[in-house]
């Protein structure tokens, strides 16, 4: 017996007797003999709690977390400080262990939190409707595409090359099954240049700020989409929205993005949550759960899952999405985080990042062999072009305990030695100064080497 | 009462101008004018009206909200198809280790060897459990795994130059199955169920033609019944060149006992938040890894975690992007790693024997509960939908109860709430009238099952005397029955600010 | 209802032979016969009959138990003299860091420099707050600090060859003060309180003779009043060669505003679980560090954390055992380090200005609440015991209420429970008839205070119409009034097994 | 305004107006002007949450925890595995944040847990009465002494030199104030040898197993105390009691000890809890809180603090102790831990330690220059005598990441090079083997050095 099951030998005997069979095996009679395993699975024996703990701790110790290096890596997920009160609330079993609130009478906690979350997302995006969460960022882009497809039935997506590479690839994976084409709009000077939009275009998808950190002319892009009768979809991280013109203000139809930065830990990429906000017009096409306010029979305020006729458990093959289990706990962390920041705090935090980012960008650009990849305004992340092999530079920096950023070459062959540098509120000036020093030395050393090699 | 009235305020309604929880770290760089960094035309006109509240208020607000939830650590939660089993506390501890929780997803593989090795080992274990050689951990939940599976099927057929248009799903299927089919660009064709609750083989045979890309099956089915003709079904499907997809939501019944791969399934998804104890979080997060056969492998999503032996015989784990026939990504990064940590810890804690014990006790508990309900005389009003030994869950029909006692399944469910028990899944599967799908799971004690049986019996007794009590239930919950129709008719989806 | 009945079972009553949560790590050494390692005559005859339960049952049991507690994160808890202020969640996080939580107390000082430095910095901060130059962190709680203080007084006098026998405590003193005096081998002599709630200076003068070793004082007093003649009191006490002891339970009123050291106190204890946010834990843990003047310093408990500069100018923190005049140890190891971490984090979070703000708002909230209660007309039945500006708490007398409305302070307290509010401290200080000692703390909002005032008013209104409601309150709690007399008469102090 | 106070400027204005004063300063009018601080405290400015976290993390990183070395240090607190469910329960605010359960109607959770804890302690100690906790181990010894003093009024404690040095010193600190003498009974061959006991002896105090790890003849010592009309007090760690004859079975009057080993973390020495169990005869002299079962007005089972007439808040100077705030949360961890171990588990765990300890003791004793300090049976800890300077040996071991134990010389000058080695279930055979290797090498090296020096 494991420590998680409770049936003692005596229990088993009594229970089998009550069922009227004489062995547990008899309960599996429906399984054809030929399919029954004759040997145990090849998984080894069970372990004690401390042994499992020790094993997992040893594995974890082989990773370099943001506590083990000074990390300037962002590129879609960011090392923000997660306040302790989030853990303290989300670890309460009442939030941690129930499932989707199918029984609203005993799920008001989760339902109200969803409602609050939706409100906060509407505030950030400037859009009137939000669902209660989707899986995460890139699949949210695909989900937005699915709404566009159903809305106008057109056959093409135009997606900016400034959208996160994972989002672009995820969209492509889906679009293929929908028989749709995906066209990439190139970047020039760091920002999106749209091709001519014909009336095959279902949606124009951009990211704000884009993957290279640049703030896009969201309104212009949106207007262009609308002029072609397409939907305007904006992806992005919600935190910079504290300062930037919101998607709603810019006329965007659907705003989606990765919610990790709102109080969720990095977790090597998940679980986090995706947000999905849209206009009133698209309300009935939204994927996923939505919480709505209502009253009980005594007139008391309460919340329920609503507009369920969109959903798979009601509409089955006609549902607006197949999503079922989403990311409720992560979205809860999101709304707690936003309450913790508050109306003033979110601006203070974002402005702090803006200032430190400007400082870092300025200082790094002064280095020999380091150029800004574009000159557009940025909030928390910016791209550099190194005049040295980026992988070799990275290796040198890592040796000094500095992870200087995300090399762009893999996703953007046109920026072979590009480096994307993120500055969250976790990165102090001292750390930035150290980055400048270490990166400067690394680039210099690599340029020296290259010159030598060329000389030789 | 003041405390209760107050409990209904939202965090936005608690806001007071000037309150705060956040204190900003000191600005330690030379301050530059905002306009210089971000021109006014790029900036939003109105700041987001987030709540202004202090830390104590936030804590109290959400603490109180939490008490308006029923949860697994409080009471019995036999929500069929959801496997509401105990969530071991160790898992939260190991998932929170900084080496896991603070690991950036784009950390270079050579600096994330522990994480990659964990993923590789989990792939390996899931592969063994499924009886299929390859695993992708990428999908975010069960239905995401389904989507992956159907897209893989498409890629597989396209690779062979075939163009298929239909996917078969039994009429007992979970809603995500047909929804997935549509989303993957196929047409849904329903397959019937026979009098014993099994797939109607004749109907299947009639519908299985070369336009069919896939049959999606749950086994045990959503009726809690193992499909005894599974081998024949597999043969029919394979004969027309279609794939056989295994919806793993019910895997908790058969771990270590038999394997989808051995049954002939080509693609399997796991719900790590069901069989493998990821806490359900009020509706996620979960994870929906898939296991596939050799012929499907080339199409698996990118990247895959692989194990490589370096020339110096040192083992290295890597992310393999070089998969030219891959369907591509389904999401960002490497999947829900935090969930993987928990599931891996679970598999290590239990080992082979423990996992088998899980399924044995899950099935024992379900059959015992069914027997106990019968012993309480409940079957007069709530008969089992199919008179068979069940697997880890079973379906009752509330039709006689509705007829005789004038209370519906919904009323029974609501009355259970007054007894401190979470109701089973109701009105699913659709096939069964006034259905109740009961899944006790292996982590519940016999005492809890006994108690549930007597509570159900008591509610029926009570209904015989006064059906109104159940019809107006619940009576003791923070709110009572809510106007769902009104909510949908005039949707209020956010706080007016 | 089944759920409720079940909730009253103890963990022992849930036990079933053979159940278990613990899985033993594998025995990895050659097994030797038990008798060889531990002869039968050394071994116990019957194994301890601990509960046999699985992990899910333990979790559910204590989870449900927890829901039978009222707590600070749920509602207002104005328990006078206890400073039930918000416990910041950051503190739990930093206390749990493995470098703190898994540090062995006998780790060699050179390998525990972080912990010793933290203690040293905390000593430094507490010294600054108290206005006294030396701090020992050793005592485990307030009353332990008191004991330390009186033992230090004894050591001080003995060192001077004096033999003193009495310690003065005001009649408003907390029970731990006189209890401590006895435990430290002195006789208690009570000092009276004047009509304004201050120490009766004449009485003090009369009793202060050279047999007196110490006067123990709380300032603000347990009446919530600042002793305006504190300088005169100090002079009287010092004139007879006695020490002046500061019971720091009420420090929350004056942090950054004035300092016990400046008032003339020789020894001060802090309750880190009050002013410095260590969560109260249902009755501990706490910590009761003491700060002392130069003349008391030689006698401080051993060991002391000291800061040393090595010849190479490297700073080192050490445990100094070489204190020949020390009173010795009061407990094992270095005190409640986990509490120190939290308090230190608190002091760093707030800084000088924040700490002062704490006291200002604590006093503002108390005076506001008093004013609001008056505005509700509550003072007719519940007048303030002393008509003065109060500090961080105030005392009401329920005497008129008892007389006019026929409900006692106890009834009011119990009725508050029905409103989701924890009652103030009742029947203390003893001086005030039917006393209610109300301490709102600085972390409560104005809205909460307003609500409390209206609830009290409502209860009084209700009592005028029907005093029985309060007299039989509470009505909505998991249990109602309990038979305390019976419990003491026939004590059942453990589960019969 | 800090993030913990909520009074906004507007609130402050309104509140002052309601009070009828015009400044916060006015509220402090009772404080003589001369005493009011004119400058801020010298504590520096407040910090953001992440800054405090970073500072504390940096401090913590300078400690070597049991995760940073392989530690064989015990000597009163032990590196046991604390199961995760304890944190998950004790971190619930309902247990973490309330105070002493003065209002039993809303404190049944805490009170019932105390009752369960008392039951478990009675089972372990074999005594019929337990309180709900005292501070910790050594002060519990003093508290037991205080009961003895009040019970028989005699003037002398006889305490074994096998009792933890901190307990002995703590008793001395108290006894001095009580005008009582403390006499130490020596150890011979590892166990206590009592002097002649006259009728001045109030209590005989021993520890089981004693500080050197040896199992004492508790019954014999108890009988001797009783023969002299003294009380028999036994200190000790509760975990070995799973195997050993219990204090109750041995006729002990008061059993006390340090509860850290029951599910509490090390925390550099606290907070943990002390347990206190005794006989029916001494019931009304116990210090601290006790929970008792009773009924409510409707006949429902419930629990209350009981026998309060012993306590300071009722009896003031006549109280049996001054204790008020004790260690409720730590004792809760204790009873959860004991439930987790369970009836079988506690035996399995202790037997595992017994076996590994025997293995370690045997292997270490085979080393040259290492002798057992005594040959008495032990459970989880044993003492060695090294034929080399223990401090130098320690230093060598620490260099290898092994902390081999607690050197005895400071507390026992008679065992100048003694070393106390603890083997909990956390220490695997592989780690023990490594200890043998490293300690063996260290002793050999130091002996070589000494020989060389002697030679030179
Ligand atoms: C039978 C079945 N299939 C699929 C799913 C979908 O899984 P998920 O919610 O993880 O997307 C569920 C979940 O409830 C299910 O019960
Ligand atoms: C005025 C006063 N003095 C002393 C104490 C005793 O402090 P502790 O409970 O920490 O021992 C208290 C605690 O309630 C108190 O209020």
What would the pLDDT profile of D125-180 be if each residue is shown by its tens digit? 999 999 999 999 999 999 999 999 999 999 999 999 999 999 999 999 999 999 99
What percent of chain B shows pLDDT beyond 70? 99
Residue B66 has pLDDT above 50, yes or no: yes
pLDDT interval class at D311 (50, 70, 90): confident
b/e sequence D336-359, b meaning 16+ C-beta within 10 Å: bbbbbbbbbbbbbbbbbbbbbbbb
Q: Is C93 on the interface with A (CB under 8 A)?
A: yes
Closest by Cβ to D93, choosing from B16, B18, B63: B63
How far does the centroid of ligand 1 lie from the alpha carbon of residue B123, in Å? 20
Is pTM beyond 0.90 here?
yes
**How many Å apart are CA B243 and CA B216, to the nearest integer?**
9
**Residue B3: per-residue pLDDT:** 42
Q: Best of B11, B23, B277 to disrupt the D interface by mutation (most D CBs within 10 Å)?
A: B23
Residue D287 has pLDDT above 60, yes or no: yes
**Residue A390: per-residue pLDDT:** 98
Report whether the peptide linkage leading into residue C375 is cis, meaning its omega lies within 30 degrees of zero.
no
pLDDT tens sequence across B312-368: 878 999 999 999 999 999 999 999 999 999 999 999 999 999 999 999 999 999 999
Mean pLDDT is lowest, of A125-129, A316-320, C156-160, D121-125, for A316-320
Q: Do B102 and A342 touch (CB under 8 A)?
A: no
**Residue A452: per-residue pLDDT:** 75
**Residue B1: per-residue pLDDT:** 30
Pocket of ligand 2 (CB under 6 A): C 81-82, 141-143, 174, 176, 218, 222, 247, 249, 271, 286, 288; D 324-325
CA distance B16 to chain D (A): 8
- Compute how many other C-beta atoms are within 10 angstroms of the C-beta atom of residue B313: 6
Cβ-based contacts of C448 with chain B (< 8 Å): none
What percent of chain D shows pLDDT beyond 70? 99
**How many Å apart are CA D276 and CA D258, to the nearest integer?**
9
**How many Å apart are CA B324 and CA B166, to the nearest integer?**
26
Cβ-based contacts of C75 with chain B (< 8 Å): 3, 60, 64
Cβ-based contacts of A352 with chain D (< 8 Å): none
Subunits touching A (CB < 8 Å, at least 3 pairs)?
Answer: B, C, D
Q: Do A8 and C17 touch (CB under 8 A)?
A: yes
Report whether the peptide linkage leading into residue B429 is cis, meaning its omega lies within 30 degrees of zero.
yes
**How many Å apart are CA B53 and CA D3, to the nearest integer?**
9
Instruction: Looking at the CA of residue B271, tell me the nearest atom of ligand 1.
Output: 10
Tell me the best of D325, D326, D327, D329 to mutate to test the pocket of ligand 2, counting ligand atoms within 8 Å of each CB and taking the most.
D325
Instruction: Give the pLDDT mean for A100-113.
Output: 97
**Residue B2: per-residue pLDDT:** 31
Residue A179 has pLDDT above 50, yes or no: yes
Q: Do B44 and A341 touch (CB under 8 A)?
A: no
**How many Å apart are CA C309 and CA C315, to the nearest integer?**
5
Are B244 and B261 spatial neighbours (Cβ–Cβ below 8 Å)? Answer: no
Residue D452 has pLDDT above 90, yes or no: no
Cβ-based contacts of D106 with chain B (< 8 Å): none
ipTM for the complex?
A: 0.97
Instruction: Looking at the CA of residue B273, tell me the nearest atom of ligand 1.
Output: 10
Q: What is the CA radius of gyration of chain D?
A: 26
What percent of chain B shows pLDDT beyond 90? 97
Q: Which of D417, D346, D380 is nearest to D211 (CA)?
A: D380
pLDDT tens sequence across C138-191: 999 999 999 999 999 999 999 999 999 999 999 999 999 999 999 999 999 999
**How many Å apart are CA A62 and CA A17, to the nearest integer?**
51
**Residue C189: per-residue pLDDT:** 98
Sequence-distant (6+) residues with CB within 8 A of C420 are B1, B2, B3, B4, C74, C75
Cβ-based contacts of C6 with chain B (< 8 Å): 451
Q: Which of A82, A67, A75 is nearest to A333 (CA)?
A: A82
Q: Is C16 on the interface with A (CB under 8 A)?
A: yes
Sequence-distant (6+) residues with CB within 8 A of D455 are none
Residue D392 has pLDDT above 90, yes or no: yes
Instruction: Give the pLDDT mean for D207-225.
Output: 98
How far does the centroid of ligand 1 lie from the alpha carbon of residue B233, in Å? 22
Tokens of A183: 């066209």
Q: Best of B62, B125, B286, B387 to disrupt the A interface by mutation (most A CBs within 10 Å)?
A: B62
Closest by Cβ to A9, choosing from C18, C23, C26: C18
Q: Do A6 and C56 touch (CB under 8 A)?
A: yes
Q: Strand C267-269 to strand C290-292: parallel, antiparallel, or no bridges (unpaired)? A: antiparallel
Residue C4 has pLDDT above 50, yes or no: no
**Residue D455: per-residue pLDDT:** 62
Sequence-distant (6+) residues with CB within 8 A of A73 are A79, A403, A405, A406, A422, B104, B106, B107
pLDDT interval class at A159 (50, 70, 90): very high
Residue D291 has pLDDT above 90, yes or no: yes
**Residue C200: per-residue pLDDT:** 98
pLDDT interval class at B5 (50, 70, 90): very low
Instruction: Give the pLDDT mean for D268-283.
Output: 98
> Cα–Cα distances in Å, from C312 out to A13, B112, C316, D59?
74, 40, 11, 21
pLDDT tens sequence across B82-106: 999 999 999 999 999 999 999 999 9
Tell me the best of C139, C142, C251 to mutate to test the pocket of ligand 2, counting ligand atoms within 8 Å of each CB and taking the most.
C142
**Residue C3: per-residue pLDDT:** 42
Q: Is B17 on the interface with D (CB under 8 A)?
A: yes
Residue C492 has pLDDT above 90, yes or no: yes
**How many Å apart are CA A171 and CA C70, to the nearest integer?**
50
Label each residue of chain A as H, E or C. Answer: CCCCCCCCHHHHHHHHHHHCCCCCHHHHCCCCHHHCCCCCCCCCECCCHHHHHHHHHHHHCCECCCCCCEECCCCCCCCCCCCHHHHHHHCCHHHHCCCCCCCHHHEHHHHHHHHHHHHHHHHHHCCCEECCCECCHHHHHHHHHHHHHHHHCCCEEEEECCCCHHHHHHHHHHHHHCCCEEEEECEECCEECCCCCCCCEEEEEEECCCCCCECCCHHHHHHHHHHCCCEEEEECCCHHHHCECCCCCCCCCEEEEECCCCCCCCHHHCCCCEEEEECHHHHHHCCCCCEEEEEECCCCEEEEECCHHHCHHHHHHHCCCCCCCCCHHHHHHHHHHHHHHHHHHHHHHHHHHHHHHHHHHHHHHCCCCEEECCCCCECCEEEEEECCCHHHHHHHHHHCCEECCEECCCCCHHHCCEEEEECCCCCCHHHHHHHHHHHHHHHHHHHHHHHHHHHC
pLDDT tens sequence across D4-35: 998 999 999 999 999 999 999 999 999 999 99
Backbone phi, then psi, for D269, in 5-degree steps?
115, -5
Q: Best of A57, A81, A356, A427 to disrupt the D interface by mutation (most D CBs within 10 Å)?
A: A81
Cβ-based contacts of B90 with chain D (< 8 Å): 83-85
Instruction: Looking at the CA of residue B144, tell me the nearest atom of ligand 1.
Output: 11
Sequence-distant (6+) residues with CB within 8 A of C134 are C127, C291, C292, C293, C294, C296, C297, C300
**How many Å apart are CA D150 and CA D138, to the nearest integer?**
19
Q: What is the mean pLDDT of chain C?
A: 96
Residue D232 has pLDDT above 50, yes or no: yes
How far does the centroid of ligand 1 lie from the alpha carbon of residue A63, in Å? 33
Chain D CA closest to residue A57: D67
Residue B252 beta carbon below 6 angstroms from any ligand 1 atom:
no
Q: What is the mean pLDDT of chain B?
A: 96
Backbone phi, then psi, for A324, in 5-degree steps?
-130, -85
Instruction: Give the pLDDT mean for B410-423.
Output: 97
Residue D453 has pLDDT above 80, yes or no: no
Cβ-based contacts of B51 with chain A (< 8 Å): 338-339, 342-343
pLDDT interval class at B79 (50, 70, 90): very high
**Residue B156: per-residue pLDDT:** 98
Are A321 and A146 spatial neighbours (Cβ–Cβ below 8 Å)? Answer: yes
pLDDT tens sequence across A26-47: 999 999 999 999 999 999 999 9
Residue D340 has pLDDT above 60, yes or no: yes
**How many Å apart are CA C273 and CA C280, to the nearest integer?**
6
Q: What is the mean pLDDT of chain A?
A: 96
Instruction: Give the pLDDT mean for C294-320.
Output: 93
**Residue A451: per-residue pLDDT:** 72
Instruction: Looking at the CA of residue B81, tell me the nearest atom of ligand 1.
Output: 16
Subunits touching D (CB < 8 Å, at least 3 pairs)?
Answer: A, B, C
Chain D CA closest to residue A61: D67
CA distance C56 to chain A (A): 6
Cβ-based contacts of B20 with chain A (< 8 Å): 342, 344-345
Backbone phi, then psi, for D147, in 5-degree steps?
-65, -45
Chain C CA closest to residue A84: C90
Residue A174 has pLDDT above 60, yes or no: yes
Residue B280 beta carbon below 6 angstroms from any ligand 1 atom:
no
Are A104 and A295 spatial neighbours (Cβ–Cβ below 8 Å)? Answer: no
């Amino acid at each position: 017996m494991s420590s998680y099951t409770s049936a003692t030998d005596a229990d088993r005997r009594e229970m089998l007797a009550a069922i009227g069979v004489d062995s547990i095996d008899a309960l599996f009679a429906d399984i054809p003999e030929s399919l029954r395993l004759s040997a145990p699975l090849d998984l080894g024996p069970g372990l004690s709690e401390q042994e499992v703990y020790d094993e997992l701790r040893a594995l974890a110790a082989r990773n370099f977390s943001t506590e083990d290096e000074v990390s300037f890596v962002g590129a879609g997920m960011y090392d923000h400080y997660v306040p302790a009160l989030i853990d303290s609330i989300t670890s309460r079993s009442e939030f941690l262990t129930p499932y989707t609130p199918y029984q609203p009478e005993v799920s008001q906690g989760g339902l109200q939190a969803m409602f609050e979350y939706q409100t906060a997302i509407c505030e950030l995006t400037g859009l009137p409707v939000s669902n209660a969460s989707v899986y995460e960022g890139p699949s949210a882009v695909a989900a937005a595409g699915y709404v566009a497809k159903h809305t106008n039935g057109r056959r093409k997506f135009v997606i900016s090359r400034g959208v996160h590479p994972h989002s672009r690839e995820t969209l492509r994976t889906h679009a293929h099954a929908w028989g749709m084409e995906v066209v990439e709009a190139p970047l020039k000077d760091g920002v999106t240049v749209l091709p001519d939009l014909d009336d095959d275009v279902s949606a124009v998808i951009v990211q704000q700020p884009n993957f290279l950190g640049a703030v896009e002319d969201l309104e212009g892009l949106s207007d262009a989409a609308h002029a072609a009768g397409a939907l305007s979809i904006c992806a992005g991280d919600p935190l910079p929205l504290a300062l930037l013109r919101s998607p709603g203000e810019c006329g965007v139809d659907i705003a989606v993005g990765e919610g990790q930065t709102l109080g969720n830990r990095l977790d090597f990429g998940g679980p986090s949550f995706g947000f999905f906000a849209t206009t009133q017009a698209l309300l009935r096409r939204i994927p996923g759960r939505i919480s709505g306010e209502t009253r009980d029979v005594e007139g008391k305020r309460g919340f329920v899952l609503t507009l369920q006729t969109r959903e798979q458990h009601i509409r089955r093959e006609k549902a607006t999405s197949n999503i079922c289990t989403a990311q409720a706990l992560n979205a809860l962390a999101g709304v707690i985080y936003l309450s913790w920041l508050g109306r003033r705090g979110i601006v203070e935090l974002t402005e702090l990042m803006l200032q430190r980012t400007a400082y870092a960008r300025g200082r790094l650009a002064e280095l020999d062999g380091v150029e800004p990849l574009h000159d557009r305004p940025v909030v928390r992340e910016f791209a550099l072009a190194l005049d040295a092999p980026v992988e070799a530079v990275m290796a040198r920096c890592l040796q000094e305990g500095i992870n200087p950023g995300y090399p762009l070459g893999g996703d953007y062959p046109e920026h072979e030695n590009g480096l994307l540098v993120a500055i969250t509120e976790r990165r102090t000036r001292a750390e930035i100064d150290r980055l400048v020093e270490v990166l400067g030395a690394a680039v210099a050393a690599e340029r020296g080497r290259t010159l030598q090699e060329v000389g030789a | 009462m003041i405390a209760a009235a107050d409990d209904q305020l939202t965090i936005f309604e608690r806001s007071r101008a000037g309150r705060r929880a956040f204190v900003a770290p000191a600005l330690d760089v030379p301050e530059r004018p905002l306009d210089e960094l971000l021109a006014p035309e790029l900036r939003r006109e109105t700041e987001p009206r987030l709540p202004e509240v202090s830390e104590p208020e936030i804590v109290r607000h959400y603490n109180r909200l939490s008490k308006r939830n029923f949860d697994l650590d409080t009471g019995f939660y036999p929500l069929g198809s959801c496997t509401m089993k105990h969530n071991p506390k160790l898992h939260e501890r190991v998932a929170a280790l900084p080496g896991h929780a603070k690991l950036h997803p784009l950390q270079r593989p050579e600096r994330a060897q522990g994480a990659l090795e964990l993923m590789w080992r989990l792939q390996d274990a899931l592969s063994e459990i499924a009886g299929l050689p390859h695993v992708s951990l990428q999908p975010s939940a069960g239905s995401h795994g389904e989507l992956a599976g159907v897209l893989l099927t498409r890629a597989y057929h396209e690779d062979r130059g075939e163009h298929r248009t239909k996917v078969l799903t039994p009429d007992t299927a979970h809603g995500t199955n047909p929804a997935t089919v549509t989303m993957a660009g196929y047409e849904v064709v329903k397959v019937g169920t026979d009098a014993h609750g099994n797939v109607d083989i004749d109907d299947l045979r009639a519908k299985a033609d070369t336009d069919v890309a896939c049959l999606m099956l749950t086994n045990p089915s959503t009726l809690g019944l193992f499909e005894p003709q599974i081998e024949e079904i597999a043969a029919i499907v394979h004969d027309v060149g279609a794939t056989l997809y295994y919806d793993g939501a019910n895997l908790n019944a058969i771990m270590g006992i038999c394997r989808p791969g051995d049954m002939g399934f080509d693609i399997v998804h796991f719900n790590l938040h069901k069989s493998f104890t990821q806490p359900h979080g009020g509706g996620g997060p979960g994870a929906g890894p898939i296991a596939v056969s050799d012929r499907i492998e080339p199409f698996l999503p990118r990247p895959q975690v692989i194990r490589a032996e370096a020339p110096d015989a040192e083992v290295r784990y890597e992310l393999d992007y070089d998969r030219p026939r891959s369907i591509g990504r389904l999401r960002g990064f490497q999947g829900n790693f935090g969930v993987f940590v928990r599931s891996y810890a679970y598999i290590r804690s239990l080992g082979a024997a423990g996992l088998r014990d899980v399924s044995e006790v899950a099935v024992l508990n379900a059959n015992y509960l069914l027997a106990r309900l019968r012993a309480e005389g409940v079957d007069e009003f709530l008969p089992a939908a199919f008179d068979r030994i069940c697997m880890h869950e079973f379906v009752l029909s509330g039709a006689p109860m509705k007829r005789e006692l004038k209370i519906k399944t919904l009323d029974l469910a609501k009355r259970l709430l007054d007894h401190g028990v979470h109701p089973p899944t109701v009105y699913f599967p659709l096939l069964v009238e006034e259905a109740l799908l009961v899944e006790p799971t292996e982590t519940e004690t016999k005492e809890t099952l006994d108690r549930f049986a007597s509570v159900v019996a008591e509610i029926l007794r009570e209904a015989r005397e006064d059906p109104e009590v159940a019809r107006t239930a619940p009576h003791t919950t923070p709110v009572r029955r809510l106007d769902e129709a009104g909510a949908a008719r005039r949707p209020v989806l956010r706080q007016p600010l």
